[in-house]
Structures are given as C-alpha cells and as structure tokens.
C-alpha cells in the first residue's frame, strides 16, 4: 500500500516585529494513529509519523520485551484503516506468550513511553550486559553530530520532529530515523539496526532530544553501550545508565559534551 506522506503543507501568516503580515506555506509533520496487532491480537495504538513502519514494528517489539531478536518476527504487514494504519505483526510461536502477558490497555501518545502500562512491574527493563562498555572518542561524537545535521530531511522541512541515529565507533552514521515522537524515532532506529544485522555494542546511539530513562532502556535493549543525547538526562535516566553501566554523554554539541557516566571510558583525540 502507499503510505501517507510524512508531511503536508499548511497555510501560515507570519507576523513581523514591525507588525508586517506575510502569508505563506509551511510544511507540518504528519501524526497518525498506528495500531499494533500481534498474531491477530491488538496490543497498542501509537501516534507516529507514517514512515519506516516496518523498522518501528521490529524496534517496538524488541524494546517492549515481546521479542528478543529479529527472528522472533515472521512477517510485518501494513494496512490502512478508517482512522489510521495497522501493523499486522506475525510472531514466531515462542514469542507469542510474551506478547499476551504485556498487552497495553490504552493508546500511546506521541511523547509517551509507558502509556497503557497497568503495573510498575510491567515496565520494560533491559538486563545489564557483561563486561565494561567500550572506550568512546569525543572526536567520533563530534563527527556523528556534524553528519546528523545534514541527515534529517523531515526536520529540515518541518522543524518539528526528533531524530535517532546509530554511528560506528569512528562516528560514521549507519542509520538515521525521524519521527514526531522521540521514543518512536528511537524504536524505528532500533528496528533498522536489528534488521540490518548491525552490532549495536560496537557503536553508539545519538538522540536529538532530552534523555529520559525510557530512551536509556530502549538503547540498552538494542545492545548499545553508549548513548549520546543533545539535551540533559533526567535523574532516573542517570540511575538506569549507571545500573546498566552505559556510557551516557549528554548536552552534546560539536564543541563540547558532558559525560554523566563512563567518565573513565571517554577519551579526547587531539584536534589538528
């Protein structure tokens, strides 16, 4: 099927400081309800930008604890419904029971990471990986941030969406995904990394948003050991990064970064 466009034009009236009025057209991002249905059983309705939906299906399934790897999903189908879209996700038999035990009860809003969770023990929690996180070079972080500026076409068009990117250890971008929701953008990235067979522990994740604990959990679920965020982390995000021994670098700019966890694993390559 043909998916809806990721953005649409909207009429605007620009009002200048001098009182001047200038009509124009601006692009605004789409935000549509997407129903996730696992093996014919509804699970959740999420609001997201209608792009990279197969990646979203894989990433959401992993970070929700429904599957443990890409092999847990047999097939993903996209169907149009009267009020939105439906993702039909066919699970391997061994993963179906995990889905039935964690069904969400309400819709997830664009900025919601835990909407519909009925009990605290349903919150997804990644397991602490074995061994220390790898050394991360701030030169690689700068390289990834510089490249990311030119790798967000939807944000360039609308100035209204988040991005999540995966970079190799040297800062080369391997995948970038965008969405109106920061959690959705990261789930799309997780799916892209899963489907691409990329070893997440060998690189790092960059998010263009504040760093909440859900983003730490999602990055850890995909196997990433380093998370770089444009904005600062919440206190709980830092608690989880410490518990998972994840390198947490935030307030990341091309000229400086703040290391919140993993200080002894961050090095600075001398600039030429």
The DSSP output letter for 270 is P
Contacts by 159-164, CB closer than 8 A, 24 or more apart = 160/28, 160/29, 161/29, 161/49, 161/185, 162/207, 162/208, 162/209, 163/207, 163/208, 164/188, 164/189, 164/205, 164/206, 164/207, 164/208
Output the CA angle 102-107-112, nearest 5 degrees. Answer: 90
Question: 3-state secondary structure string, 29-52?
Answer: ECCEEEEEEECCEEEEEEEECCCC
Phi-psi region of 251 (alpha: psi -120 to 50; beta: other; left: phi over 0): left
Q: Which of 72, 30, 71 has the alpha carbon at shortest distance from 53?
A: 30
Reduce the DSSP state of residue 209 to 3 states and report it. coil
Is 147 exposed, middle or buried, given 0-12, 13-18 or 19+ CB atoms closer than 10 A?
A: middle
DSSP string for residues in 87-153: EEEEEPHHHHHHHHHT---SPBPTT-SSTT--SGGGS--PPPPSSPPPPEEHHHHHHHHHHHHTS-H
Active site residues: 112
């Amino acid at each position: 099927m043909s998916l809806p466009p990721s953005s649409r034009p909207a009429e605007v009236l620009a009002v200048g400081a001098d009182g001047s009025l200038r009509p124009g057209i601006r692009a605004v991002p789409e935000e549509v309800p997407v129903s996730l249905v696992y093996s014919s059983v509804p699970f959740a309705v999420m609001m997201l930008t209608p792009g990279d939906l197969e990646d979203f299906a894989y990433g959401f399934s992993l970070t929700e604890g429904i599957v443990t790897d890409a092999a847990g999903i047999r097939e993903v189908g996209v169907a149009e419904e009267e009020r939105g879209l439906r993702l039909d996700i066919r699970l391997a038999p061994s993963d179906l029971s995990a889905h039935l035990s964690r069904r969400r009860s309400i819709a997830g809003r664009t900025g919601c990471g835990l909407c519909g969770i009925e009990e605290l023990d349903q919150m997804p929690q990644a397991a602490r990986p074995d061994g220390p996180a790898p050394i991360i070079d701030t030169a690689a972080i700068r390289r990834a941030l510089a490249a990311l500026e030119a790798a967000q076409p939807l944000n360039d068009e609308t100035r209204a969406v988040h991005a999540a990117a995966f970079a190799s250890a040297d800062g080369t971008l391997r995948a970038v995904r965008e969405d109106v929701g920061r959690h959705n953008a990261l789930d799309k990235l997780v799916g892209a990394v899963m489907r691409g067979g990329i070893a997440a522990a060998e690189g790092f994740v960059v998010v263009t948003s504040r760093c909440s604990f859900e983003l730490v959990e999602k990055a850890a679920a995909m196997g990433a050991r380093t998370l770089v965020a444009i904005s600062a982390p919440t206190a709980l995000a830092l608690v989880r990064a410490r518990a998972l021994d994840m390198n947490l670098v935030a307030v990341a700019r091309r000229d400086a970064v703040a290391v919140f966890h993993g200080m002894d694993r961050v090095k600075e390559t001398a600039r030429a």
